[in-house]
Structure 1
């Protein structure tokens, strides 16, 4: 559909510009002077024209496509002026021969008449025969001028014969020529090329061209992740983006020989409604793309987090109750991307129908004439199709049954059937949603042992899922504006169901051993699958999605055929689906009260099994790199600590458990004397042996003995754990106040993240600190040079030679991508979560050195950190500290509690360089009497 550029002379007046340049050229200033004047005049014309196009877009006087057309018109006129000056005044030919003709032809998107602010200009210099010296001079002059103007020009110089020959060999070239457009010059050459291209290239090759373009599209999707629901999508190359629309248009133009998308309606390829969806999707994507290029001042195609809010504002999206404007904008983006997928299926269906009618001419995906009927559907090859065009009109339930039969027989769905579903979606109404047979079919699909993820994704892509389960329809294309969630809510849910199915099939046994073991002990599979389906279904409604989701479960589960008991369990799981991860990642599992409180919430072994598997599937489906071995270890520890309390067993007394742990360690130290073993045991309290596995205690014992013999002031040992994707750093030195803060500062200076630290103080005043680290990508901090730097930095920090605060302040500020997120600082003080300690939870935007600043502030407040659990969810840091006063007691004084909250809020609210200064903490001398540091401190991040 051609776009008419309004008030074109306000963008550029070619006539006036050319007249001024020709008047200058007539004064014979010389080629160098003329060239300089050309560059100055055309550069100014480009700048003014771009500014006018941008003004129109940002003032809503022009749409994105109108802006692209205006920019295209601007470049056209510049090229025409340049051509005329070059051929009339720089390299004039008085009597040109038949071979000294030249056409300027636009190709690709530029040929289509759409030029984004940052797009390349694709030019074809079209010749009648071979290139002459005159051609070479003119083309070289024009290209150098265009480059001087700052245009990114892709060019080719070819004859008509060259173009035809190369187009037959390469579909990329034939695609470019498919959208060629004459700009200037001898139009006869362009007319000849267009006529011959249609007769000699396009005729009879539609099937092969379409097959090549669809294959190219599939490879592009695989390269970019094969999902249109990633929360930072590529709007040009990504699935459901502009390139997919272009692919459909190329195929339609090539196969159906049309020049306007509206002609596809008259040819029966698209209905009027489908054509409107095509145009709306194209307009929306062009609006976003033009704004994005102007905003970033570069040909940026990714909708990254840092640009999404401003794009939303420019496009008129505002915050509504429960939903941010940026989330509404991105939801519309994903819905349009979904529409592009629907249009793709319609095109494929049309191609196959055309192949049925003209099998000798169009062989793409051609149907076998030998078909049979399978459970009321036509089986064509390995795909199910309808037996009659009106099948879904007379039996709407078949829109669900089609997917169930295909899943059970491991078949694909024919595009023609999907096309008909699109046109009959409104028949999935309240009556069908109340039909027990329809709900039973859906439940069978959800709980099938044959790849429920693929079947549900097909249901979702076809629009059936959201119509049958309206609550799920509300989260289709629903994104969360944060750096933690990688997919939209519907895509995350479907992936979680797929992971659950893989756990059941034993495919993730090495990565998820506990879930793989206990999933087969679950009494009701239906409860488990329904809880995964519903756990995030209430996101985007405002309020607590867990609470609202539980209410949805109470309504939805009976409709799906679950019993009252099953419904109650699903509702409980949805209500508390974050409880296990919150406890494991944010609380001290070695504290008996933590486990007791969690057990009282869960109440039964069956719920514990269900909740464990649900939690694992949920976290694993958030996105690449979110799940790691450390999170698995924390969840396993919580499960194994809780399970005995729920199964009727009795947890052994702490003394007995510690004694058994000592015996296991003693068995590993067979080369030690009994006196050495007893001496080592006397140095540690019971909690050390209860919270540390025997192999680690053995390593610590040997490290401590060696360090004591050598009288080393500081000992540092590293161990890489590939399974947990962690690096363990063990530090052994004399304890002194502020040690924890200084070591975390040194680690921050080296660029590592603390994901766990168990910090113990021996009874004779030595600190045994075991930090578990990751790098910025979530892998082990394992490069030798970085480990060497870490050892040196820790030593220098403890000796006072390096001040972490100064180093961190000198670092560059966080990227705009991170700084764009607003996380409200929050400090929660809880005196009920532990019997002996005060629990402080802080929430705020993460930044380099935040943990160091927080621990330094706690030290300055005369608090002793007993344990700390540090987690990062994208841009959000959630850190929990178990603290006491210097005498080991809870903090109960109201004034002191308010001071803690105020100080930590200041740290969260300001970057390290701006945070109010805390009192400096100088290193204590080695001979200083140890402070009343707790016997054990552990940190997990």
Structure 2
């Protein structure tokens, strides 16, 4: 047997290397899959003949192997099927077979069991069911394989399968932050990646459409041109993934920085005059993934619409050109967009003003997309088109979705030529995680969230400012133009002024609006730079800052743009401490702009007086206060903000010669902790204190070191709580940290080792003029298990109570509700928490239960 294994290994190595050599030379994914797949089948057949010669079992290729898409270091998806429950001898033989596969350097992912057991497993597991959808016979009892595949395919409920794969895709996209445009994308699972292509064809195959060509010949699901685009994108993505595996020498699906250059070089790209080879590679990926996403928007809804829906269909008239199908908008005449190009924006205007419509029907989308390729200067010069485009920003609702849609289908770069240069443009600065176009749209999304009641709990102060800001559309436009000039060379903030000014003049903004927009573009980095790089406790810094800002309105707009921009750069860069930093600068500048005249002396007096008032209120003797101020000195007051001074002095007043440690949470969420350490000065204290924080897995966000006149240190740290802990653990974490630092300051140094639902009839009006119910469930990209649920429906008595009953029945926690009733129309928003909704079937069950209530 050992000789057989060695022979199998030698043959497999030889044939695999030949396939790899041929691939390096010609870069043909389909040929590699065929040659490597054939080598694997021969090897498995040889091993099966020697280990299961007298067996009645059968061996199947499933998943990627069954699909004929096996990458150099992918798992080997297999299934062994028996007629009845496996005997002990059969189980031992299968274990030996698996070990043999490991011995020849394969990575088997194998399911084994009887027909009934495997069918039952697939019924409960959508991933397993999908793998068997692509199963192929390899060896053994072929009649058994046919019976099994017939039974498992017969039991599959096509409608449920499609809905589950749809939800699965949405969840996968949410985990990728809704975009493939990250600097280290996953070729397989990112939006627009290979898994999206697989999803299209799983859904098609479940309906009996097995090949690319069948999609173009069955009911015009895809045109031949679209099939060609899809095949080209698939080849590009597959080629990148093969090269990625070969460059890594292992299964690796993320285009990590370490491998990008090697993959690009293997694919034939070299350094150019302006772009490095990795950037060329990434732009190819972005273009391919963008095409997949574009076609996804057409193909998946068409395939979904071919199967009986689990929910009843709503059809309604909108006007002479448009009608509504459920939550989609459709056009009567597919030539409308070519004949009257103004409708390219008109249809989006209709969507934005109809809360029960959120997308374009696939056939209409195909016609709309084809017509957008003719957007030119004449289209831009049309005042109607300009009015509609600026109207998107002034209306605000659904703006982020609309702009992402226009970017996805290439309209932004045709309407705004400057946009073309930033599509897929990488930012090699170690803190941006998005290409420029996706970063801009993420900043826009952040700004919009500040204006939405459902998200006001995230950043209450910024949300309050946004709600009181009259011209929100100026901030939205500033997010679009603040980085639009990147990649041109020179200062992008200065270069972008011209783009913003031309846009403002062309889109009917008045002089004041134009000036504010241009100033925000020019100085969009000002607040970030001042807050993070300068001492904002210094009155001179605040004075110079206000000289640039000039007005309270500009200050508010700049603050809101800065918050949105930083949160859109990299979510990990934003925390409660940084939020407090910008708030401090905002308040100081606001005070100054309102007429406050702080100089250094006045600032010292004001802060010291506030602390003195607090101490007097507590009944502290004047003698002790004077002793404290002598010990601290005026430099201390200059270097610390007022709230820290009040905290320090309250704790130090009676213990100016005794070591002490104090900790406090900086916010109610317990996101950041502030630590004060007061002790006799000694060598390496600061470094050893930092070790303690590191030992507790805390990031130091800020630190102020100060030495008193009597040679004590007064160090203040702001630290981030450990990410793997929950807010409920924070008090325990705080106590443990405080205990260790207390031991440290007292000489013990360890750092070196260191309901019932009831139907209620709708009103006559709602029965005659119904609206299509809308149920939108979206996961929070930054907070797993948190979801936003939006519902639009006919209002009726007990509607909210019935919805809450559904939450309770499905063990969903309601954390926020915004209820809006417009006549007989309810538009309600909820923030909910549930660990169960990670399961696609649970999401489908929730939507079905809600739909039943909304259509009573």
TM-score tier (shorter): 0.7 to 0.9
Summarize deviations over 1:895-919 as a string: whole Å, max 9, x none.
xxxxxxxxxxxxxxxxxxxxxxxxx
Q: Distance in 1 between matches of 2:86 and 2:537?
A: 82
Counterpart of 2:213 in structure 1 is 262
Alpha carbons of structure 1 residues 46 and 381: separation in structure 2 relative to 1, 3 Å: same
Q: Calculate the TM-score normalised by the size of structure 1.
A: 0.71
Summarize deviations over 1:5-32 as a string: whole Å, max 9, x none.
xxxxxxxxxxxxxxxxxxxxxxxxxxxx
Counterpart of 2:586 in structure 1 is 639
Counterpart of 2:235 in structure 1 is 283
**Contact 2:315–2:323 (CA under 8 A) maintained in structure 1:** no
Aligned residues: 743
Summarize deviations over 1:320-370 as a string: whole Å, max 9, x none.
4554432332233233222222222221343366x4xxxxxx313788474
Alpha carbons of structure 1 residues 676 and 412: separation in structure 2 relative to 1, 3 Å: same
Q: Does 1:403 align with 2:358?
A: no
1:247-646 equivalent positions in 2, closer than 5 A:
247-255=199-207, 257-267=208-218, 268-320=220-272, 323-351=275-303, 355=306, 362-364=307-309, 368=313, 370-374=315-319, 376-410=321-355, 411-413=357-359, 414-505=361-452, 509=456, 511-519=458-466, 522=469, 524-646=471-593
Deviation at 1:221, TM superposition (A): 3.2
Q: Does 1:109 align with 2:64?
A: yes
Deviation at 1:451, TM superposition (A): 3.2
Q: Distance in 2 between matches of 1:531 and 1:132?
A: 69
Q: Secondary structure at the match of 1:561?
A: coil
Deviation at 1:104, TM superposition (A): 3.4
Deviation at 1:584, TM superposition (A): 0.8
Q: Distance in 1 between matches of 2:678 and 2:123?
A: 73
**Contact 1:106–1:182 (CA under 8 A) maintained in structure 2:** yes
Summarize deviations over 1:17-53 as a string: whole Å, max 9, x none.
xxxxxxxxxxxxxxxxxx1112222223333333333
Q: Distance in 2 between matches of 1:514 and 1:196?
A: 59
Summarize deviations over 1:770-797 as a string: whole Å, max 9, x none.
2222357599894544554455567779
Counterpart of 1:47 in structure 2 is 13
Q: Distance in 2 between matches of 1:743 and 1:162?
A: 58
- The structure 1 residue matched to 2:718, chosen from 772, 779, 783, is 772
Q: Distance in 1 between matches of 2:86 and 2:716?
A: 74
Alpha carbons of structure 1 residues 161 and 689: separation in structure 2 relative to 1, 3 Å: closer
Counterpart of 1:688 in structure 2 is 636
CA RMSD of aligned residues (A): 3.7
Counterpart of 2:841 in structure 1 is none
Q: Distance in 2 between matches of 1:559 and 1:418?
A: 28
Summarize deviations over 1:833-855 as a string: whole Å, max 9, x none.
xxxxxxxxxxxxxxxxxxxxxxx
Counterpart of 1:831 in structure 2 is none
After alignment, is 424-433 or 716-725 more displaced? 716-725
- The structure 2 residue matched to 1:152, chosen from 94, 107, 128, is 107
Gaps of 5+ in 1: 1-34, 93-99, 356-361, 808-941
Deviation at 1:375, TM superposition (A): 6.9
Deviation at 1:566, TM superposition (A): 2.7
Gaps of 5+ in 2: 755-856
Q: Distance in 1 between matches of 2:319 and 2:455?
A: 34
Counterpart of 1:663 in structure 2 is 609
**Contact 1:64–1:289 (CA under 8 A) maintained in structure 2:** no
Q: Distance in 2 between matches of 1:229 and 1:222?
A: 13
- The structure 2 residue matched to 1:61, chosen from 22, 26, 32, is 26
Alpha carbons of structure 1 residues 317 and 608: separation in structure 2 relative to 1, 3 Å: farther
1:818-897 equivalent positions in 2, closer than 5 A:
none
**Contact 2:27–2:267 (CA under 8 A) maintained in structure 1:** no
Counterpart of 1:76 in structure 2 is 41
Q: Distance in 2 between matches of 1:795 and 1:162?
A: 65
Q: Distance in 1 between matches of 2:229 and 2:606?
A: 70
Deviation at 1:272, TM superposition (A): 1.9
Deviation at 1:552, TM superposition (A): 2.0
**Contact 1:403–1:459 (CA under 8 A) maintained in structure 2:** no
Larger Rg computed on CA atoms: 1
**Contact 2:187–2:193 (CA under 8 A) maintained in structure 1:** yes
Deviation at 1:171, TM superposition (A): 5.7
**Contact 2:162–2:304 (CA under 8 A) maintained in structure 1:** no
Summarize deviations over 1:129-156 as a string: whole Å, max 9, x none.
8878997787565444224323232344
Alpha carbons of structure 1 residues 560 and 746: separation in structure 2 relative to 1, 3 Å: same
Q: Distance in 2 between matches of 1:63 and 1:331?
A: 20
Q: Distance in 1 between matches of 2:696 and 2:81?
A: 59
Summarize deviations over 1:390-414 as a string: whole Å, max 9, x none.
1211122212221221111112222
Summarize deviations over 1:528-547 as a string: whole Å, max 9, x none.
22111111222333333222
**Contact 1:527–1:566 (CA under 8 A) maintained in structure 2:** yes
Q: Distance in 1 between matches of 2:88 and 2:752?
A: 69
Summarize deviations over 1:623-680 as a string: whole Å, max 9, x none.
3332222222222222233335445x25144434433333322222232112222332
Alpha carbons of structure 1 residues 426 and 772: separation in structure 2 relative to 1, 3 Å: same
After alignment, is 149-158 or 437-446 more displaced? 149-158
After alignment, is 211-220 or 686-695 more displaced? 686-695
Q: Distance in 2 between matches of 1:121 and 1:296?
A: 18
1:707-726 equivalent positions in 2, closer than 5 A:
707-708=655-656, 711-712=657-658, 714-723=659-668, 725-726=671-672
Q: Distance in 2 between matches of 1:491 and 1:614?
A: 16
After alignment, is 663-672 or 474-483 more displaced? 474-483
Q: Distance in 2 between matches of 1:82 and 1:296?
A: 29
After alignment, is 617-626 or 172-181 more displaced? 172-181
1:722-737 equivalent positions in 2, closer than 5 A:
722-723=667-668, 725-734=671-680
Q: Calculate the TM-score normalised by the size of structure 2.
A: 0.78
Alpha carbons of structure 1 residues 599 and 79: separation in structure 2 relative to 1, 3 Å: same
Deviation at 1:78, TM superposition (A): 0.5
Q: Secondary structure at the match of 1:625?
A: helix
After alignment, is 125-134 or 783-792 more displaced? 125-134
Q: Distance in 2 between matches of 1:217 and 1:278?
A: 18
1:53-202 equivalent positions in 2, closer than 5 A:
53-57=19-23, 59-86=24-51, 103-125=58-80, 142-156=97-111, 172=127, 175-185=130-140, 187=142, 200=154
Q: Distance in 2 between matches of 1:170 and 1:736?
A: 62
Q: Distance in 1 between matches of 2:575 and 2:90?
A: 62
Alpha carbons of structure 1 residues 478 and 776: separation in structure 2 relative to 1, 3 Å: farther
Counterpart of 1:759 in structure 2 is 705
Q: Distance in 2 between matches of 1:793 and 1:46?
A: 61
Deviation at 1:275, TM superposition (A): 1.0
Q: Does 1:210 align with 2:162?
A: yes
Q: Secondary structure at the match of 1:727?
A: strand
Deviation at 1:585, TM superposition (A): 0.3
After alignment, is 309-318 or 272-281 more displaced? 309-318
Q: Distance in 1 between matches of 2:92 and 2:151?
A: 28
Q: Distance in 1 between matches of 2:476 and 2:319?
A: 28
Counterpart of 2:816 in structure 1 is none
Summarize deviations over 1:223-253 as a string: whole Å, max 9, x none.
5544333333332233222121111112223
